[in-house]
Amino acid sequence: MTEKLYEKDAYIKEFTATVLDCKPCDSGFMVVLDKTAFFPEGGGQAADIGVLDDAKVFDAQIENGIVYHYTDKPLKMGDKVQGKIDFDRRFAFMQNHTGEHIVSGIAHALFGVNNVGFHLGEDLVTIDFDKELTRDQLNEIEYLANQKVWQNLSINAYYPSEEELKNTDYRSKKEIDGAVRLVNIKDTDVCACCAPHVKNTGEIGIVKLLDTERMRGGIRIVLKCGAFALYDYRTKYENVSQISALLSSKQESAADAVKKLDEKYTLEKQKINEFKKKISELTIAAVDENANCLFVDNCDTKDLQLIADKLHKTYGGIKGAFSGNNENYSFAICGEDTELQEFFNKFKGELTVRGGGRGGMVQGTVIATQENIKLFF
């Protein structure tokens, strides 16, 4: 079994180990060491990355107590190698994972919800609870979680004896075979977990609950702590700063400014639609009543539907409206449903047509010249 240095000290950044085995695999090489500070994927947390001498370590997995390091270069069996993990990434993961323990512990204590899923990715953390929570409840959890951070509480990760384990009330997402490792956050939470955590809650920095979505009768929460939360805030600050500059508003008023812009846009869109209706009516009034199809410039499908419908209701029969160029046209065609479907089947049979519809209206695209379309009509 591999000696797990990351369990003894989560802050080890570099170490020296002996190569016990190295085999080629589909993604490169699979290396086994006598000891390692590389945390293998587990408990919802991604594996550490880094280097062994000049070989890049891009993944680590554990099986039957043996940690397998996946590298881009082979290492010689029996050699001593210098391992170095990407500690900035690891520490950000430690902040997030410890923050998740605090949030889950408080949510369980306050509202009786259970953590049934956890994923710590490269850019976000998700927690799945088995019951729904309101935004007010989430805000309460978030505030209390940050209080625990400000109190800078001690955190102890350890393997209890069988007797200790029997007498300890702890959370666990699943049944665990073999030795159980507990992470005890003072006066906050005790949870079974294999991952590295910070020593004191103050190192988490800040806990922020972000997006939520309903999930199988429960709720999924996006959580960010420490460095993740800082990057998130920085991105949102830059976005709000640019939006407020474009709208000539203060940052704290950006949402109101966007709302006003949206209301103005809605009114302008209504005006444009009214103008389109008038233009359609004037266009149709100028059309020979014997013309069965009309070609107009710069019209979208909705405009074409409006024109075709008006033509049909004004003059009867099957009427079509087309817009486009270079023998590539969008269209809408109106008529009595049964007659129209028969007409449209012939239309598709003679020209290159994509589209469909029902209820007296079909729409789509056709590749043909104006002359051929007019000839067909």
Write b or e for each residue in 120-135: b if 16 or more Cβ atoms lie within 10 A of its Cβ, otherwise e.
beeeebbbbbeeebee
- Residue 164 covered by a domain: yes
The pLDDT tens digits for 138-190 are 999 999 999 999 999 999 999 999 899 999 999 887 766 678 999 999 999 99
One domain, residues 24 and 161: no
Q: Which two tokens stand for residue 302?
A: 């909705």
User: Average pLDDT of 16-44?
Assistant: 95
Average pLDDT, the chain: 93
Range of lowest pLDDT (8-22, 45-59, 215-229, 281-295): 281-295
Distant-in-sequence, close-in-space partners of 366: CB < 8 Å, separation ≥ 6: 322, 328, 329, 331, 347, 351, 352, 353, 354, 373
- Under 8 Å between Cβ of 52 and 75: yes
User: Average pLDDT of 217-240?
Assistant: 94
One domain, residues 95 and 37: no
Domain end position, chosen among 85, 104, 138:
85
Write b or e for each residue in 338-349: b if 16 or more Cβ atoms lie within 10 A of its Cβ, otherwise e.
eebeebbeebbe
What residues pair up with 126 in beta bridges, in sequence order?
Answer: 119, 222
- The number of folded domains in the chain is 3
According to DSSP, the β-strands at 80-85 and 35-36 are: unpaired
One domain, residues 101 and 77: no
Domain end position, chosen among 51, 67, 85:
85
- Give CA separation, 100 vs 118, 191, 207, 349, in Å: 8, 11, 9, 62
- Residue 295 covered by a domain: yes
SS3 content of the chain, % helix, strand, coil (to 5): 40, 30, 30
One domain, residues 204 and 336: no
pLDDT at 172: 85
Reported confidence tier of residue 298, pLDDT bands at 50, 70, 90: confident
pLDDT at 327: 87
Range of lowest pLDDT (76-80, 116-120, 234-238, 344-348): 116-120
Q: Which domain holds residue 28?
A: 3-85
Reported confidence tier of residue 279, pLDDT bands at 50, 70, 90: confident
- Residue 247 covered by a domain: no
Give the CATH number, domain containing residue 304: 3.10.310.40
Share of the chain above pLDDT 70, in %: 99
Range of lowest pLDDT (168-172, 260-264, 272-276): 272-276
Separation of alpha carbons 277 and 375, rounded Å: 28
One domain, residues 104 and 75: no
One domain, residues 209 and 295: no
Give the CATH number, domain containing residue 72: 2.40.30.130
pLDDT at 277: 79
**Which residue do the tokens 């809650």 mark?**
201
The pLDDT tens digits for 244-257 are 999 999 999 999 99
pTM score, whole prediction: 0.74
One domain, residues 59 and 11: yes
pLDDT at 73: 95
Helices first, then strands: H and E counts in the chain:
9, 20
Q: Single out the residue of 129, 36, 30 nearest to residue 71, CA to CA.
A: 30
**Which residue do the tokens 């881009």 mark?**
72
One domain, residues 103 and 226: yes
One domain, residues 47 and 108: no
pLDDT higher than 90, residue 325: no
Reported confidence tier of residue 283, pLDDT bands at 50, 70, 90: confident
User: Average pLDDT of 66-79?
Assistant: 97
Element containing residue 377 per DSSP (H, E): none
Domain end position, chosen among 85, 120, 154:
85
- Under 8 Å between Cβ of 348 and 331: no
- Under 8 Å between Cβ of 158 and 168: no
One domain, residues 24 and 140: no
What residues pair up with 331 in beta bridges, in sequence order?
Answer: 322, 364
One domain, residues 212 and 175: yes
pLDDT at 324: 92
User: Average pLDDT of 328-357?
Assistant: 94
pLDDT at 275: 85
Q: DSSP for 9-66, please give it.
A: -TT--EEEEEEEEEEEETTEEEEEESEE-PPPSBTTBPPP-EEETTEEEEEEEEETTE
Q: Which two tokens stand for residue 347?
A: 């239309």
Residue 110: CB atoms within 10 A of its CB come to 13
Give the CATH number, domain containing residue 174: 3.30.980.10
One domain, residues 75 and 191: no
- Residue 372 covered by a domain: yes
- Residue 264 covered by a domain: no
